[in-house]
Amino acid sequence: MMNAKRLYDHFKTQFDAVGIIKTQDYLDEATKMNREVPKETYPTMVVLGLAYPFRMLKHSQTHLVPSFYTFGSDYHQVLKHRIEIVMQAIPYPYHMGVDNHPHDERLAAVLGGLGFFGKNQLIIHPDLGSYMFLGLVFIDVLLDDTLNLKIDDDCGTCHKCIDACPTQALEEGMYHVEKCMSYFNQAKKHLTDEEVEANYSLFGCDICQMVCPKNIKKGAIVHPEFELSGKEMVSIMDLFQDSEKAFKKKYDHMAYLWKGKTILMRNAVMLLYRFKNTHYNDMIARVLKNNQTPWFAQTTKRLLEKLKQIQADDTQHSS
């Protein structure tokens, strides 16, 4: 007969943090907090955390770097595969979600005892810090008990992430998602001058994690799937010369691909402008002729004109 401890032990073979809660408790709490989540009929909910390591790579003249949470294999697929392995031994119907689904992973993680909700909008685990991916599994089995850690911690008076956020997306007790760099550099929209000036990453943002005191001496666990693959740094030439199909084949299994190559090209142009790197102006111009997606073309055309002006000024000064 299945109970919470047995279920916990199964999942602990593949995950660093596990919480077993009643689905109805999660749904009730979501209702209290005015969170819109789908109704679920499977009575048991498993909340999962898988650690990823803290690693830093720097942009170069030829390669650009996304957020370090994208390093190694695509975490969406890694977590789903690990869940499938566990569920092979559990004879009950289930369904799962990893990141891009309509449920509130962070609410579930707090209820499941995986950590507390930090001012940086991330779940902070006692041992893993915020360096963990979250996943959910709904299972059609009714348990008599639950199993979750009791977290007695919070951010206290610390506001390092609030002070460090370059776009002022974080405030005490507030989060302005539209200002968040990790939001707008993944959004398929025309970017403002302020957003362009603030952006420093090819994809995502790490600042609020890197400054968090709860992450000191965390991020040391490296699961095999998250070993560096050599595709963490993206070639600028590949971005502007390869077809979508060729690029995705070359950089397959990388999490930064899930929004498509066009997002990465637009963000690359932002970074080239930031670094005043004009070596790729002709490539960008050729891409613009063939890709007139409005949100891409508007931002890219504007920045290319600025890059051309930088190039002209450099030519004038050197002559």
What are the tens digits of pLDDT across the range 12-60? 999 999 999 999 999 999 999 999 999 999 999 999 999 999 999 999 9
What number of CA atoms fall less than 13 Å from residue 116's CA on the CB side?
Answer: 11
* 148 and 48 Cβ atoms separated by less than 8 Å: no
Q: Is pLDDT at 135 greater than 80 in this prediction?
A: yes
To the nearest 5 percent, what fractions of the chain are helix, strand and coil?
40, 15, 45
pLDDT band, very low/low/confident/very high, at 238 (cuts 50, 70, 90): very high
Report how far residue 271's alpha carbon sits from residue 44's, in angstroms, rounded to the nearest whole number.
Answer: 45
In the predicted model, what is the mean pLDDT of residues 219-238?
Answer: 97
pLDDT tens profile 75-118: 999 999 999 999 999 999 999 999 989 999 999 999 999 999 99
Handedness of CA 47, 209, 205, 229 (dihedral sign): negative
In the predicted model, what is the mean pLDDT of residues 111-134?
Answer: 97
Alpha helix positions (H), 88-192: 105-111, 160-164, 181-184
| Structure token digits, residue 193 | 């001058």
Q: Is pLDDT at 318 greater than 80 in this prediction?
A: no
pTM (predicted TM-score): 0.94
> Which pLDDT value is given to residue 1?
79
Q: Which of residues 40 and 150 earns the better pLDDT score?
A: 40
* 134 and 123 Cβ atoms separated by less than 8 Å: yes
Residue 101 DSSP one-character state: S
pLDDT band, very low/low/confident/very high, at 190 (cuts 50, 70, 90): very high
CA distances to 28, 193, 227, 267, 300 from 190, rounded to whole Å, are 38, 10, 34, 11, 9
Cα–chain center distance at 242: 25
pLDDT band, very low/low/confident/very high, at 149 (cuts 50, 70, 90): confident
In the predicted model, what is the mean pLDDT of residues 1-10?
Answer: 94
**Rg (the chain; Cα; Å):** 22
Cα–chain center distance at 61: 25
Q: Is pLDDT at 189 greater than 80 in this prediction?
A: yes
Q: Is pLDDT at 162 greater than 90 in this prediction?
A: yes
Report how far residue 31's alpha carbon sits from residue 9's, in angstroms, rounded to the nearest whole number.
Answer: 30
> Which pLDDT value is given to residue 201?
97
Active site residue 99: yes
The residue length of the chain stands at 319
pLDDT band, very low/low/confident/very high, at 315 (cuts 50, 70, 90): confident
Report how far residue 21's alpha carbon sits from residue 4's, in angstroms, rounded to the nearest whole number.
Answer: 9
For tokens 């911690």, name the residue: 153
Report how far residue 108's alpha carbon sits from residue 174's, in angstroms, rounded to the nearest whole number.
Answer: 20
Mean of the per-residue pLDDT values of the chain = 96
Q: Is pLDDT at 276 greater than 90 in this prediction?
A: yes
Catalytic residue (one of 25, 99, 206, 242): 99
| Structure token digits, residue 256 | 């930064």
Q: Is pLDDT at 317 greater than 90 in this prediction?
A: no
pLDDT band, very low/low/confident/very high, at 316 (cuts 50, 70, 90): confident
In the predicted model, what is the mean pLDDT of residues 137-147?
Answer: 95
Report how far residue 80's alpha carbon sits from residue 96's, in angstroms, rounded to the nearest whole number.
Answer: 8
> Which pLDDT value is given to residue 319?
64
* CA geometry: angle 109, 111, 113, nearest 5 deg: 70
